[in-house]
Amino acid sequence: MTTEGRSFLVVNLKDIVPEELILRSKGKCMASEVFYTSVSQTDGTEIIQEQLHKLLLASQLLDGVNCDERVVLKIHFGEEGNKGFVKPEYTRVIIDKVKERGGVPILSDTNTLYRGRRTNSKDHLELAAEHGFTEEGTGAKIFIPENAEENNVMLPSEHKFIKNAKVAKVYIEADHLINISHFKGHIMTGFGGALKNIGMGCAAREGKLEQHSGMAPLVDHENCVGCEACYEACPAEAITISDKKSYINEERCIGCASCIAACEYSAIDVDWNSGENTIQEKMVEYAKAVLDKKSGQVVHINFAIKITKECDCLAQDDPRICPDIGILMSTDPVSVDKACYDLVVQRCGQDIFKKVHPERDGMKQLLYSASLGVGALEYRLIEV
Ligand code: SF4
Ligand code: SF4
């Protein structure tokens, strides 16, 4: 349906999720507006920038930014070798809009649990610069919290798993939070977008650990050749090698999955029967803690472009698993992720995330978020 140049699509959720849950979600939140522009990487950077600009104008979602207000843009700068992260050229368009409103932008990410070039702020900043995220390139200061002082906000949470969410201060202290996410598959959560970029992405290292723990992987000794790559990759000294076989100490393991990525012999995998999917619920409880604190000050922008099997923490280029969808924007993280998911399923003709990660159901994060009132599963898609 088209009204005044905008296309509207109301998704029939009854075909996708249980009716009872839709009603629960509806009771807490009305259907949210999700603004959408269809773009593909093959359109080229300038066209994508132009479409993004139009999306920002049409949605008016950044119009709440006022003069001298601090606006933190949460992004993932991409692991070394990764090519799926949201490009600095696109980030620049959002930053220009913030500055046009008189806001003071800060571009930020947190350090990782796993060992790599994003483990500490110095290396992380260098890598971000190599990926084009500099103050000259983007127009915003780049900030990666490092010490305890910068990571010390405790947000109360009264849900199933999390009692105190440990979050980096910059995301809480800023007047506005713009959540810029690459929508893609994920080994632990099936897929990841706005909810993951807030829940896991804004967490201090201690908070990431809290969300990942209880997920020690298993070693298949038939495949293990004792090459020690997992031992070298482990940030928690949880791995020992004995008689050319790897052993994981579950007490020490922080569930960061670095060893899975390091093993070239497919000898390490997640123990899917142990603590299965609790990471999604914990992540959602973290997201809720952050969003409750920042009520009305958060805008979510999902880039469903170069949709990959794994997340941008993968230290290599990862091929597309779905044709490009475009850019989606909303004040509701559940709706914007659900809209991305629905469009991916529609475009692929199947749930491609379930196909590439059969042990994971990413819908769990959306259903749990809706049940906690984080956002609505039902949405109105407004094409710009
Ligand atoms: S990386 Fe894989 S093959 Fe090498 S020691 Fe670890 S589990 Fe074994
Ligand atoms: S054993 Fe594997 S998952 Fe556990 S901390 Fe070490 S690298 Fe991370």
Of all protein residues, whose CA lies closest to atom 5 belonging to ligand 2?
A: 253
Binding site membership of 263 for ligand 2 (Cβ less than 6 Å): no
**Cβ atoms of residues 16 and 361 within 8 Å:** no
CB of 229 within 6 A of ligand 1: the answer is yes
Task: Give the model's pLDDT for residue 6.
Answer: 39
Looking at residue 3, its pLDDT comes to 36
CB atoms within 10 A of CB 228: 13
CATH topology of domain 2-210+276-383: Rossmann fold (3.40.50)
Contacts of 164 by beta carbon, 8 Å cutoff, 6+ apart = 154, 155, 156, 157
Query: What's the gap in Å between 114 CA and the centre of ligand 2?
Result: 8
pLDDT at 15: 47
Q: How far is the CA of 247 from the centre of ligand 1 (A)?
A: 9
CB of 362 closer than 8 Å to CB of 191: yes
Question: Which residues of the chain form CATH 3.40.50.11440?
Answer: 2-210+276-383
Atom 4 (ligand 1) nearest CA: 227
Which tokens sit at 231? Answer: 């031992």
User: Ligand 1, closest atom to CA 263?
Assistant: 1
Which residues, other chains included, contact 334 with Cβ-Cβ below 8 Å and sequence gap of 6+? Answer: 29, 32, 195, 366, 369, 370, 374, 375, 376, 377
User: How many angstroms separate the CA atoms of 142 and 71, rounded?
Assistant: 12
- Going by CA atoms, what residue is nearest to atom 3 of ligand 1? 224
Q: Is 259 in the pocket of ligand 2 (CB under 6 A)?
A: yes
Q: Domain 215-270, what fold?
A: Alpha-Beta Plaits (3.30.70)
Are the C-beta atoms of residues 364 and 15 closer than 8 Å to each other? no
CA gap 200, 196 in Å, rounded: 5
Please say whether the beta carbons of 52 and 87 come within 8 A.
no
- Cβ–ligand 2 contact at 262 (below 6 Å): no
The answer to whether 80 touches 117, Cβ cutoff 8 Å, is yes
For residue 161, the CA-to-ligand 1 centroid distance in Å is 32
Distance 224 CA to ligand 1 centre (A): 5
Q: Is the CB of residue 226 below 6 angstroms from any atom belonging to ligand 1?
A: yes
Looking at residue 211, its pLDDT comes to 85
Q: Where, residue-wise, is CATH 3.30.70.20 in the chain?
A: 215-270
> Atom 8 of ligand 2 has which residue's CA nearest to it?
256
Q: Is 248 in the pocket of ligand 2 (CB under 6 A)?
A: yes
**261 in contact with ligand 1, CB cutoff 6 A:** no
Q: Which atom of ligand 2 is nearest to the CA of 255?
A: 3
CB of 246 closer than 6 angstroms to any ligand 2 atom: no
Can you give the pLDDT at residue 303? 98
Using alpha carbons only, what angle is made at residue 17 by residues 331 and 309, rounded to the nearest 5 degrees? 70
Q: Is 246 in the pocket of ligand 1 (CB under 6 A)?
A: yes
Ligand 1 centroid to 270 CA: how many Å? Answer: 14
Which class for 10: exposed (0-12), middle (13-18), buried (19 or more C-beta within 10 A)? exposed
Local confidence pLDDT in tens for the 384 residues of the chain: 333 333 444 444 444 444 444 333 444 446 899 999 999 999 999 999 999 999 999 999 999 999 999 999 999 999 999 999 999 999 999 999 999 999 999 999 999 876 678 888 999 999 999 999 999 999 999 999 988 789 889 999 999 999 999 999 999 999 999 999 999 999 889 999 999 999 999 998 778 878 876 667 889 999 999 999 999 989 889 999 999 999 999 888 876 667 877 888 989 886 655 555 789 999 999 999 999 999 889 999 999 999 999 888 888 888 899 999 999 999 999 999 999 999 999 999 999 999 999 989 999 999 999 999 999 999 999 999
The Cβ-side half-sphere exposure at 219, using a 13 Å CA radius, reads 26
Ligand 2 test: best mutation among 113, 256, 270, most atoms within 8 Å of CB?
Answer: 256
Ligand nearest to the CA of 187: 2
For residue 6, the CA-to-ligand 1 centroid distance in Å is 53
Q: Which of 213, 215, 250, 259 to mutate to test the pocket of ligand 2 (most atoms within 8 A of CB)?
A: 259
Look at ligand 2, atom 6, and give the residue with the nearest C-alpha. 234
Could you give the count of Cα atoms lying within 13 Å of 174 in the half-sphere of its Cβ?
Answer: 29
Three-class SS of the chain: CEECCEEEEECCHHHCCCHHHHHHHHHHCCCEEEEEECCCHHHCHHHHHHHHHHHHHHHCCCCCCCCCCEEEEECCCCCCCCCCCCCHHHHHHHHHHHHHCCCEEEEECCCCCCCCCCCCHHHHHHHHHHCCCCHHHHCCEEECCCCHHHHCEEEECCCCCCCEEEECHHHHHCCEEEEEEECEEECCCEEECHHHHHHCCCECHHHHHHHHCCCCEEECCCCCCCCCHHHHHCCCCCEEEECCEEEECCCCCCCCCHHHHHCCCCCEEECCCCCCCHHHHHHHHHHHHHHHHCCCCEEEEEEECCEECCCCCCCCCCCEEECCCEEEEECCHHHHHHHHHHHHHHHHCCCHHHHHCCCCCCHHHHHHHHHCCCCCCCEEEEEC
pTM of the full structure:
0.81
**Centroid of ligand 2 to alpha carbon of 226 (angstroms):** 16
Give yes or no for residue 370 CB within 6 A of ligand 1: no
